[in-house]
Structure 1
Amino acid sequence: MARITPEQRKQIHEKLLVKGKDLFTQYGFFKTSIDDIIQACGIAKGTFYSYYSSKEELFYSVLRKEEEVKNLVISRIMCESLPPKELLIRFFETSFKTIEENPFLLSLYQRGEYERIVQRLPKELLDQHAKEDLDGSLEFVKFLQEQGVTENDPEVLIGLFRSTLLLPLHRQEIGEPAFSKMLKKMIECLSEGLTK
């Protein structure tokens, strides 16, 4: 049997991420099997296990890749020279739009799978994710504070950002047009309150 080249290995890995994301988005985590994934990728089960020890680990990799979008949003915001209130408004609006345009993240939360999946992930992966997320968030908080955001406690700011960014996932529950009006008002109030 011919050996897999590094380029082929990279292509298989990318295919696992893409097909895994597609299947998780379409059917959900719990209705997607490893057999579904390997069939979509055209690989053997042993090949799957040479990349990931479980479906949960593949899911975690897909989630991490999707979360890289957050880092891009933050990087762009940090390059803009706007007054602090406008920086926050831009951050919230861009983040909401990014979340609402991401079917993978929307389906994950709307199906209520996130908590159940997280419970199945190895503790070391969760700890690593939490540390990396906190480190990235602290850098952004420091930037915002240097720009004039008045809240001194980074944990409060990070908590505000996280809880606020989950709101688009409840658009259907709140209903239109109330949701859009509420979201706009909340962004303005938060941005104003954090920069006074």
Structure 2
Amino acid sequence: MSRFTERDRERIRNQLIEAGRDLFTQFGFERTRISDLTEEAGIGTSTFYQFFDSKEALYVEVLLAERESLEAQIAEAVKAVDTPREEVRVLLKTTLSEVRSNPLISTLIVDGELRALQDRIADAKVPDDPISSDTRHSELPFAKRWAELDAFRYDDPELIDQLLMSLVFTARSRNAPIGADNDVAYEQVEDAMIETIVDGLFADG
């Protein structure tokens, strides 16, 4: 029987998730050891296994937390604008920024790591990932509502999803896809690409 109270368990679990976030971001999944995670969280190895069956199971939790954080950022950004055009613009800008600056978000979206982990962990209780790179199962927020607008050029939410996600993939490399060789140049090109996509999605563009 565990010697931890419910409050202790919640605290330790959160410490492990935070330690995982820090170390997976810095060193990646493969180079991060369970001993690194337990040292960072200030617990023993045996305690780790009272909370997670494996490093992969912790990684799933970390990626889920990152996904929820991104969805909250997008929702907050979209809430601050008034038109569907602005919604598309801020969704893309927010997502692209996170893909470029956050290795875990890049792994989650571009590499589809969460879905791959689901296949590797038979007992993982992970819901479908709405922003996975596997677009057969993905659904960007707001796509269904946009598809119903008369001014929107496309009425297929899955197609809208795929169009927007294809732009997200360009954020994986600053140089190869678009030729920008510094931050300022990249942001200028990115802004131009977003405006082009937005204009093309609306019939009044």
Under TM normalisation by the shorter chain, which class is it? 0.7 to 0.9
Q: Is the 8 A contact 2:138 2:161 kept in 1?
A: no
Q: Is the 8 A contact 2:74 2:90 kept in 1?
A: no
Per-residue CA deviations over 1:110-150 (Å, capped at 9, x if unaligned) read xx794996486326649733369789836521232345433
SS of alignment partner, residue 137 of structure 1: coil
Provide the aligned C-alpha RMSD in A: 3.4
TM-score, normalised via structure 1 length: 0.79
* Structure 2 equivalent of residue 186 of structure 1: 193
The reply on whether 1:149 has 2:152 as its aligned counterpart is yes
Distance 1:160 1:89 in 2: 13
Q: Is the 8 A contact 1:100 1:168 kept in 2?
A: yes
Distance 2:50 2:173 in 1: 38
The reply on whether 1:175 has 2:177 as its aligned counterpart is no
Per-residue CA deviations over 1:85-127 (Å, capped at 9, x if unaligned) read 2221122122222333325435x48xx7949964863266497
- Greater share of residues in helix: 1
Greater shift after overlay, 154-163 or 135-144? 135-144
* Structure 2 equivalent of residue 122 of structure 1: 121
Count how many residue pairs are aligned between Structure 1 and Structure 2: 193
* Structure 1 equivalent of residue 51 of structure 2: 51
Q: Is the 8 A contact 1:56 1:120 kept in 2?
A: no
Pair 1:14–1:168, CA change in 2 (3 A): same
Instruction: Using the TM superposition, give the Cα deviation of residue 69 of structure 1 relative to its aligned residue in structure 2, in angstroms.
Output: 2.4
Per-residue CA deviations over 1:6-32 (Å, capped at 9, x if unaligned) read 111111001101111111111111111
Q: Is the 8 A contact 1:20 1:58 kept in 2?
A: yes
* Structure 2 equivalent of residue 163 of structure 1: 166
Pair 1:94–1:139, CA change in 2 (3 A): closer
Q: Is the 8 A contact 1:96 1:165 kept in 2?
A: yes
Pair 1:100–1:136, CA change in 2 (3 A): same
* Structure 2 equivalent of residue 20 of structure 1: 20
* Structure 1 equivalent of residue 76 of structure 2: 76
Structure with greater contact order relative to length (CA < 8 Å, sep ≥ 6): 1
Distance 1:77 1:47 in 2: 39
For residues 31-46 of structure 1, the aligned pairs below 5 Å read 31-46=31-46
For residues 64-143 of structure 1, the aligned pairs below 5 Å read 64-106=64-106, 108=107, 114=113, 118=117, 121-122=120-121, 125=124, 128-130=127-129, 137=139, 140-143=142-145
- Structure 1's consecutive aligned runs of 4 or more residues displaced over 4 angstroms after TM superposition are 112-117, 123-127, 131-136
Pair 1:2–1:47, CA change in 2 (3 A): closer
